[in-house]
Amino acid sequence: MLKYQLKYQMLRRWSDEDNCFLVGFPDFPGQQWRTHGDTYQEAVINGIEALESLVSAYETTGDPLPQPRTIYAA
């Protein structure tokens, strides 16, 4: 279960070069890819952990969290 109920996008893309799924969070500035996984499921699990660590780091430094981008379905 997620420690944080956050609405940030998590992108997962296969990388032929790295032979794994890369995971990134476009709402956060900085490096494009923050973690990876050999399988899609592993990438999702690692992505959740990375997002929780990222949010914790923002809280520790007192930096405000970026506003999550939202989309609206018609």
> What is the extent of the structural domain holding 66?
1-74
DSSP states along the chain: --SS------EEEEETTTTEEEEE-TTS-S-S--EEESSHHHHHHHHHHHHHHHHHHHHHHTPPPPPPP-----
- Residue 37 sits in a domain whose CATH number is 3.30.160
Task: Give the pLDDT means over successive 10-residue stretches in the chain (74 positions).
Answer: 72 97 94 93 96 92 91 79
pLDDT at site 72: 82
Report the domain count for the chain: 1
Record the pTM. 0.83
Contacts of 9 (CB under 8 A, 6+ apart): 25, 26, 27, 68, 69
